[in-house]
Amino acid sequence: MSVPTTSGRPVVTRIAPSPTGSMHIGTARTALFNWLYARHTGGKFLLRIEDTDRERSTEGAVQVIFEGLKWLGLEADEPAVFQFARADRHREVVEALLARGEAYRDYMTSEELEAERERARAEGRVVRSPWRDAAAADAPDRPFAVRLKSPLSGETLIADQVKGEVRFQNSQLDDLILLRSDGNPTYNLAVVVDDYDMGVTHVIRGDDHLNNAARQTLIYQAMDWATPVWAHLPLIHGPDGAKLSKRHGAQAVGEFADMGYLPEAMRNYLAKLGWGHGDDEIFSDEQAISWFDIKDVVGAPARLDWAKLNHLNNHYIRQTDAPRLTQLVAGIHKSRDWKLRDGDLPLLERTIPLVRDGAKTLLELADSTVFVLKARPLELPEKAQAMLTEETRGRLSRLRDRIAANEAWEVPGLEAEIRAFAESEGVGIGKFGPALRAVLSGGSPAPDLAGALVSLGKHESLARLDDVLSPAP
């Protein structure tokens, strides 16, 4: 059931990114909170591409946003709205504001504006245009901007769901430009018109837009439109508490994907950045949806914590079924130019459950499966060669014959076999284990001995041993 807003309408939230060529995790978190709130209330989650900066808004940059949201599993409920394409509608609202007497044409030249700025600064007030109260008949024949006729006194109250009540003195707000003298609508105007037309009931976004909320409220009021509920989210900071920057590592959604984080781990992690449900660290989308309320978002900046993210990612890697992990890992191998052969996928699928427990990322998981993909005969690193003394070779050869008789080829049976073998030889596993592992893996990371044997399968395991113990002439 959808929960109506104070104005009685069902909840509509939106994410409104400006294409920049990458999708910041702050944007991802904002998208997630909007998505969670829409799902929690049975409402809708929409996407608007704020593409009025024509140079930056290339097709590729727009694609990055679609792909980022898709990867995160936060796709919008309706096709995206493109802001630039709506410029005529924005101009129409400017006309309406002029007709209502809520806006005026400002004919100040740039020199006049500069001089007024100087005066305003010296007098400690905001810029005021002499055209605010001029008679229409006085209008000169030259380009003009359109400004909002903002109230000169009183205050604008933003009852923010996260920040609490934030008050702005109207005398501190100049008459906002709605339309530039080149005919282009301004950002704040476009946002209000688009949010209104899209039926947005809750504006949940970064707190760098809190000041805009005051400006935008004045436009809503001038049009007699109900204002949305505001919720301004604190920024995400680096682990050291400083504003997130390059030196803290990855910042873009695509980078997290490339580093091998799972989208569900990312969702769980981002949900915890500024919101939480008691001490719960790990929760499903369903739980987050049922628990999430915008009022519970904390006002203080959230700090990125790599250890927590890694912990969550490891959890989700362990939860994910082998076929999906296999596809993901195969993708990583391919991107690293491994030529996967027929039969490599089942091999990976058999190996992954044996190696995934320690993997913090999919890259680590991929690393720990490289050993099964290697083609025979394996190149052994020098360290491994040095381990293969006569004595060790003899021992591995006896072990080989012993396990060759093992039919089931399963981890517990092989473990027992190896233990029994060590006992029968009167040595610890440490005497031959490292050499066996090196022969099986060629020095790459690999699971425990029995795990490595099971991953490779009986035929390949014995063949790798034979390559070393009785090499073909």
* Residues at the contact surface with ligand GLU, assessed by CB under 6 A: 16-18, 50, 191, 205-206, 209
Residues 457 and 409: beta-carbon distance below 8 Å:
yes
Nearer CB in complex with ligand GLU: 86/360: 86
Question: Could you give the CA distance from residue 392 to residue 433 in angstroms, rounded to a whole number?
Answer: 10
Instruction: Tell me how far CA of residue 170 lies from CA of 119, 174, 175, 218, in angstroms.
Output: 19, 8, 10, 9
Cβ burial of 272 (10 Å; 0-12, 13-18, 19+) is buried
Q: DSSP 3-state assignment of 443?
A: coil
Please, what is the minimum distance in Å from the beta carbon of residue 203 to ligand GLU?
A: 6
Positions marked active-site = 246
State in angstroms the smallest separation of the CB of 154 from ligand GLU: 24
As measured in angstroms, the least distance from the Cβ of 329 to ligand GLU is: 34
Q: What minimum distance in Å lies between the beta carbon of 191 and ligand GLU?
A: 5
Please tell me what DSSP assigns to residue 92.
Answer: H
- Residue number with the shortest CB distance to ligand GLU? 205
Q: Enumerate residues 6+ apart whose C-beta is below 8 A from 108.
A: 116, 129, 130, 131, 145
> Which segments of 42-109 does DSSP mark as H helices, in order?
59-72, 87-99
Query: 345-361 burial string, b = 16+ CB within 10 Å, else e?
Result: eebbbbbbbbbbeebbb
Minimum CB–partner distance for residue 144 and ligand GLU (Å): 27
Instruction: Give the separation between CA 91 and CA 71, rounded to whole angstroms.
Output: 36
